Amino acid sequence: MLQILCLFIPIIAAFFMPFFFKKIRNVHTGWFVLLVPLFLVIYYTTFIPVISKGETIIEQLNWIPSLGISFVSYIDGLSLLFSLLISGIGALVVLYSIFYLNRKKEQLHNFYIYLLIFMSAMLGVVQSDNMITLYLFWELTSISSFLLIGYWFNRDKSRFGALKSMMITVAGGMLMLGGFVLLSLMGGTFSIRALIEQAPQLATNDLFIIALILILLGAFTKSAQFPFYIWLPDAMEAPTPVSAYLHSATMVKAGIYLVARFTPVFALSEAWIWLVAGIGLLTLFWGSFFALKQTDLKGILAFSTVSQLGLIMSLLGVSAIAYHVDGAEDTVFKYAAFAAIFHLINHATFKGSLFMIAGIVDHETGTRDIRKLGGLMSLMPVSFTVALIGSFSMAGLPPFNGFLSKEMFLTAMLSVTEFDLFNFSTWAPLFPIVAWIASVFTFIYSFYFVFKTFTGKLNVDQLPTKPHEAPIGMLISPVILAGLVVTIFFIPNIVTDTFVKPAVVAIQPFLYTSPNDVNIHVSAWHGPTPELFMTIGIVIVGLLLFLTLSKWQKLYSILPERFTLNRLYDITINELLGSWMTRFSKLYMTGSIRKYLGYMFTAIPLIVIGTLIVKNAFSVTFEGSSPIHLYAVILIVVLVIGTLTTVFARSRITSIIALGSVGYTVSLFFVIFNAPDLALTQLVIETISVALFLMAFYHLPKFSKVEERTRFKFGRAFISIAVGVMVTLVALSSHSQKFIESISNYYKETVYTEAGGGNIVNVILVDYRGFDTLFEIAVLAIAGISIFAMIKLRLSRKEKNYESK
Amino acid sequence: MEIIMAFVCGFLFMAAIYLILSRSLLRIIIGTGLLSHGAHLLIITMGGFGGNNPPVLADGVTEYVDPLPQALILTAIVISFGVTAFFLVLAYRSYQELKTDDMTQMKGSEDHE
């Protein structure tokens, strides 16, 4: 039970934060929050021995059993690694935020509530085995991320960034839900483990490819892959602890997690390999290329994150190749999944520390603009050291962990050239080339980040505050992370045996059965292999380009802002969805009731006559018609004349009297059609109606003399003719095709024996169908009361306005 | 007879719709009046005019007119009367308040979108 409970511990803790914030004012609320991730780290550490043996632990809490939806905490190598990252970096970030956020100036309880919700959501994402709860937690990360980005909600940019990230990630999440539903339809279960077992059968299903694309869209939007990365740079408006936590180490890796988790399901598909590897590589290149255009420290890091996520994604794509190669455990393809997980750990360490350093620089100098910064090395030696370690690791230099994973990345990319299925022989050479170019840019922006900030000239006048070294508390977290960066380089195999290998087993369960089968040994010196020469090339070319950076960085301004993806997003949101849609709506929603009536009376005949034609339902027969009555013909003439007078009368009195004549004619019709009660009622009602009309007549205005526009006149005539034709056609057809006998014979036969009456119509009204009469009485009563109320109740406009305020 | 009445009903509907689409509120109400006449006649026509006697029991008569449509129309007449009366007073009140009976001018204000 504890295992499931752990998913919810942060959310439960969040409930208490306002209390701590409001009641215990002299202790920073963050200290209470810190206990939560610390506890989780310790708890999840206890799983390591079990998991590294290759076993898995599962615990389930039913939520909606009848639909097969339950909260599941499934811990295997992959989810344990992520859980530890989430809780571990969470602890460090909370510690950092204690010194970053001011206890007196900030609304801390809000911040920590959002952060704790996010922590729960993220743990839920990585541990859920049930796809529906996975989706639930997935959206919860989107929402909490939205809240965190918009934390300083009085800034325009924060709100814009929050909205943008929400729109993109939620759109992706929705598509992903569609993919999940399709998968569950195909496999008959929401459980991912059960789906993995059915993977070969699933691959033959027609819906398979659609589910694949939908789920990938979810993963790509969350993990900021091309072209959905645009929300990530704007999310940098969040407080720096948030950027460090969500937008480098955890949330953006949810998409990576999803891809890794679903690799066993989808890897059999060719499209999966091409999409994941291709988009990943494109993102890698794109992000690293545009990182150099940025002038904001966090902007550089954001693009760097995008690029590194692309790297991991492309490795996961390549790892799917192993499913198509016989004896893959002995080939070079085995490196891809391993490298992906290894780099994921490394990236979380160095990027987390770099973000914290960017936050420190911002905090201590008042700006993040790299053009104003410089020469901070002597003032902030600790920060500089940490930044240097992080950047060198990011650039892939020894002796830092980035070097190891970068080498493996190059190995994996080179291995693609040996793969010849699915036309890979044609395009595969591009993979290592693009990877190499992207690595060169990575190298340059890593240097750009650290050296433009910490070396060069110091311009104290340009800085908003006088720079000095950060407080020790703020430095603890980045120093720990930087320490990890170095440590992992020296003891890579302990880390990989503990974390990476069990995770690789989870990604490639068909290849390996236990972590011990993964026969990869990481070593810093791996001989004079092609990868090594590629790295040397990266360093030489990267250094050359970095030293000449000022000469060619202007090239970036050539590309006008109009052609960027951000512009595309703005157009879509503001113009397409905003003004264009409004304009489109205003086109037909004119506010004029005549227009609306026109739409309706056009649609009804169109549909009815269309149906008559399509179904070939029209028919006329004179059979069964009663003979034509002479009186009736006379009445028809009178009725037509009366109606025409009503329509074309110039004065309202003529119109009203003509309407009265139509009513009396109708009652005469009732007389010759043998309906005495109707005739009676119609006569009385018509008399009262005409009287009413005449009473209102005095108060109503004269018919306006304003002529209609001719176009509308014709349209109006056409519409009314269409309606008339429709009614006639329907009446003729229904008269000509009677399929069942009337039930009235029952009334005729039993009216006296059952009901004791002689007037059949009246007996029907009050006996057989008395309910109708009851409610028609109610209608009259309501009409009477409302008329009374309308005349009596006269709130003037002013009073009404006053009340509505 | 039924065939001719079908055309008469169609004609009434046509005239009613033509009036309903006009600008003056009073014309619209007159249009609804015509519309209900058309509907009532349509119901009785669809019941058929077979049988030569009114639906009141009498000795030696077996062929009564179908009573059910008549009962339905009776209900409909009362209801349409109630609605017409209400509508008429509504028109009177709205003319008092808004000083117009021109439907083209009776639009929601631009603020209420």
pLDDT digit string, tens, across residues A433-459:
888 999 999 999 999 888 888 887 777
Q: Tell me which chain A residues have a C-beta less than 8 angstroms from the C-beta of B19.
A: 646-647
Cβ contact B23–A708 (<8 Å): yes
Which residue of chain B has the CA closest to A726?
Answer: B10
Q: Tell me which chain B residues have a C-beta less than 8 angstroms from the C-beta of A696.
A: 26, 88-89, 91-92
DSSP-assigned states of every residue in B36-88: HHHHHHHHHHHH---SSB-SB--TT---BPPHHHHHHHHHHHHHHHHHHHHHH
A59: helix, strand or coil: strand
Which residue of chain B has the CA closest to A666?
Answer: B37
- pLDDT tens sequence across A39-74: 999 999 999 988 888 888 999 999 999 988 999 999
Mean predicted confidence (pLDDT) in A767-794: 91
Model confidence at A408: pLDDT above 90: no
A130: helix, strand or coil: strand
Are residues A421 and A513 both part of a single domain?
A: yes
- pLDDT bin (cut points 50, 70, 90) of residue A745 is confident
Burial of A227 from C-beta contacts in 10 A (0-12 / 13-18 / 19+): middle
- The answer as to whether B21 is a domain residue is yes
For A329, the token pair is 């455990």
Residue A688: partners with Cβ closer than 8 Å, 6 or more residues away: B81
- The answer as to whether A128 is a domain residue is no
Cβ contact B57–A640 (<8 Å): no
Cβ contact A735–B46 (<8 Å): yes
Rounded to 5 degrees, what angle do the CA atoms A202, A205, A207 make? Answer: 105
Are residues A662 and A535 both part of a single domain?
A: no
H or E stretch including A92? helix A77-100
Model confidence at A78: pLDDT above 80: yes
- Min distance A696 CA to chain B CA atoms (Å): 6
CA distance A764 to A776: 14
For A325, the token pair is 């190669």
More confident residue, A553 or A3: A3
Which of the residues A727, A764, A769, A801 would you substitute to probe the B interface, choosing the one with the greatest number of B C-beta atoms within 10 Å?
A727
DSSP A296: B
Question: Which residue pairs, CB below 8 angstroms and at least 24 apart, start in A679-683?
Answer: A681/B74, A681/B77, A681/B78, A682/B40, A682/B77
Looking at residue A782, its pLDDT comes to 95
Q: Tell me which chain A residues have a C-beta less than 8 angstroms from the C-beta of B70.
A: 675, 677-678, 761
- pLDDT tens sequence across A519-559: 777 766 666 778 888 888 899 999 998 888 877 777 777 76
Q: Tell me which chain A residues have a C-beta less than 8 angstroms from the C-beta of B29.
A: 693
DSSP-assigned states of every residue in A136-191: HHHHHHHHHHHHHHTSSTTSHHHHHHHHHHHHHHHHHHHHHHHHHHHHHHHHS-SB
Model confidence at B74: pLDDT above 60: yes
Q: Which of A727, A745, A763 lies at the terminal end of a domain, its last residue? A: A745
| Nearest CB partner across the interface for B102, out of A704, A723, A784 | A704
- The answer as to whether A265 is a domain residue is no
Cβ contact A780–B78 (<8 Å): yes
Model confidence at A805: pLDDT above 50: no
For B20, the token pair is 């309903």
For A200, the token pair is 């070969």
Scanning the structure block, which residue is given the tokens 């980005």?
Answer: A149
Mean predicted confidence (pLDDT) in A359-365: 86
Mean predicted confidence (pLDDT) in A15-21: 89
H or E stretch including A489? helix A472-490
> Within A491-592, where are the H helices?
492-495, 501-507, 530-547, 549-552, 565-570, 581-588
| Alpha-carbon distances, residue A612 vs A539, A617, A618, A734 (angstroms) | 78, 5, 6, 11
| Nearest CB partner across the interface for B67, out of A644, A732, A761 | A761
CA distance A114 to A608: 56
Q: Tell me which chain B residues have a C-beta less than 8 angstroms from the C-beta of A784.
A: 82
Cβ contact A735–B3 (<8 Å): yes
Cβ contact A790–B90 (<8 Å): yes
- pLDDT tens sequence across A234-288: 899 889 999 999 888 788 999 999 999 999 999 888 888 889 999 999 999 999 9
Which of the residues A690, A723, A745 would you substitute to probe the B interface, choosing the one with the greatest number of B C-beta atoms within 10 Å?
A723
- The answer as to whether B109 is a domain residue is no
| Nearest CB partner across the interface for A724, out of B10, B75, B107 | B10
Q: Tell me which chain A residues have a C-beta less than 8 angstroms from the C-beta of B96.
A: 699
Q: Which of A558, A576, A602 lies at the terminal end of a domain, its last residue? A: A558
Q: How many CB pairs under 8 A join A and B?
A: 266
- pLDDT tens sequence across A597-629: 999 999 999 999 999 999 888 888 887 778 888
Are residues A715 and A772 both part of a single domain?
A: no
Are residues A760 and A729 both part of a single domain?
A: no
- pLDDT tens sequence across A490-513: 888 888 888 888 888 888 888 887
Provide the strand spans (E) within A697-804: none
| Nearest CB partner across the interface for A747, out of B4, B29, B68 | B68
Are residues A576 and A648 both part of a single domain?
A: no
Are residues A750 and A799 both part of a single domain?
A: yes
Residue B72: which domain range? 2-50+66-99
Looking at residue A248, its pLDDT comes to 80
Looking at residue B98, its pLDDT comes to 78
Looking at residue A798, its pLDDT comes to 54
Residue A213: count other Cβ atoms within 10 Å of its Cβ. Answer: 16
Q: Tell me which chain A residues have a C-beta less than 8 angstroms from the C-beta of B47.
A: 742
CATH of the domain at B13: 1.10.287.3510
Are residues A735 and A632 both part of a single domain?
A: yes
CA distance A398 to A407: 10
Question: HSE of B67 in the Cβ direction (CA atoms, 13 Å)?
Answer: 26
Report percent pLDDT > 90 for chain A: 40
Looking at residue B113, its pLDDT comes to 43
- The answer as to whether A316 is a domain residue is no
Cβ contact B91–A700 (<8 Å): yes
| Range name among A110-114, A196-200, A573-577 with the lowest pLDDT average | A573-577
Q: Tell me which chain A residues have a C-beta less than 8 angstroms from the C-beta of B41.
A: 666, 669
Which residue of chain B has the CA closest to A752?
Answer: B57
Q: Tell me which chain B residues have a C-beta less than 8 angstroms from the C-beta of A769.
A: 71
- The answer as to whether A370 is a domain residue is yes
CA distance A162 to A336: 34
- pLDDT tens sequence across A341-360: 999 999 999 999 999 999 88
Cβ contact B18–A720 (<8 Å): yes
- Min distance A774 CA to chain B CA atoms (Å): 10
Q: Which of A745, A774, A795 lies at the terminal end of a domain, its last residue? A: A745
Which residue of chain B has the CA closest to A687?
Answer: B81
- pLDDT bin (cut points 50, 70, 90) of residue B17 is very high
CA distance A792 to A802: 20
Which residue of chain A has the CA closest to B10?
Answer: A724
Cβ contact B3–A765 (<8 Å): no
- The answer as to whether A27 is a domain residue is no
| Range name among A234-238, A485-489, A582-586, B33-37 with the lowest pLDDT average | A582-586
Mean predicted confidence (pLDDT) in B58-81: 88
More confident residue, B113 or B86: B86
Cβ contact B33–A724 (<8 Å): no
Instruction: Report the domain count for chain A.
Output: 4
- Min distance B3 CA to chain A CA atoms (Å): 6
Which residue of chain A has the CA closest to B31?
Answer: A647
Taking all residues of chain A, what is their mean pLDDT, rounded to a whole number? Answer: 86
Cβ contact B15–A758 (<8 Å): no
Q: Is the peptide bond before A49 cis (omega within 30 degrees of 0)?
A: no
Which residue of chain B has the CA closest to A638?
Answer: B8
Spell A463-497 as b/e; 16+ CB within 10 A means b: beeebebbeeebbbbbbbbbebbeebbeebeebbb
- pLDDT tens sequence across B78-108: 999 999 999 988 888 888 877 777 777 777 6
CA distance A50 to A616: 73
CA distance A80 to A85: 8
Cβ contact A663–B44 (<8 Å): no
CATH of the domain at A665: 1.20.120.1200
Cβ contact A677–B11 (<8 Å): no
| Range name among A14-18, A562-566, A773-777 with the lowest pLDDT average | A562-566
Cβ contact B49–A597 (<8 Å): no
- Min distance A744 CA to chain B CA atoms (Å): 6
| Nearest CB partner across the interface for B3, out of A622, A726, A734 | A622
Beta bridge partners of B56: A759
Which residue of chain A has the CA closest to B102?
Answer: A704
Residue A752: which domain range? 746-805
Are residues A787 and A725 both part of a single domain?
A: no
- The answer as to whether A542 is a domain residue is yes
Cβ contact A626–B50 (<8 Å): yes
Are residues A453 and A530 both part of a single domain?
A: yes
| Nearest CB partner across the interface for B1, out of A632, A656, A682 | A632
Are residues A733 and A756 both part of a single domain?
A: no
For A117, the token pair is 């919700």
Instruction: Report the domain count for chain B.
Output: 1
- pLDDT bin (cut points 50, 70, 90) of residue A791 is confident
Q: Tell me which chain A residues have a C-beta less than 8 angstroms from the C-beta of B66.
A: 742, 744
Are residues A584 and A598 both part of a single domain?
A: no
- Min distance A780 CA to chain B CA atoms (Å): 5
Taking all residues of chain B, what is their mean pLDDT, rounded to a whole number? Answer: 86
| Alpha-carbon distances, residue A531 vs A341, A343, A392, A435, A536 (angstroms) | 19, 16, 18, 11, 9
Residue A377: partners with Cβ closer than 8 Å, 6 or more residues away: A384, A454, A455
The strand pair at A57-64 and A69-75 is best described as antiparallel
- The answer as to whether B35 is a domain residue is yes
Cβ contact B68–A744 (<8 Å): yes
- pLDDT tens sequence across A671-700: 998 899 999 999 999 999 999 888 877 777
Which of the residues A666, A733, A769, A777 would you substitute to probe the B interface, choosing the one with the greatest number of B C-beta atoms within 10 Å?
A666
Cβ contact B20–A769 (<8 Å): no
Are residues A435 and A568 both part of a single domain?
A: no
Report percent pLDDT > 70 for chain A: 95
- The answer as to whether B60 is a domain residue is no
Helices A252-266 and A108-127, axial angle in degrees (round to 10): 10
Looking at residue A799, its pLDDT comes to 52
Cβ contact B46–A624 (<8 Å): no
- pLDDT tens sequence across A163-177: 999 999 999 999 999
Which of the residues A700, A714, A721, A765 would you substitute to probe the B interface, choosing the one with the greatest number of B C-beta atoms within 10 Å?
A700
Rounded to 5 degrees, what angle do the CA atoms A229, A503, A354 make? Answer: 45
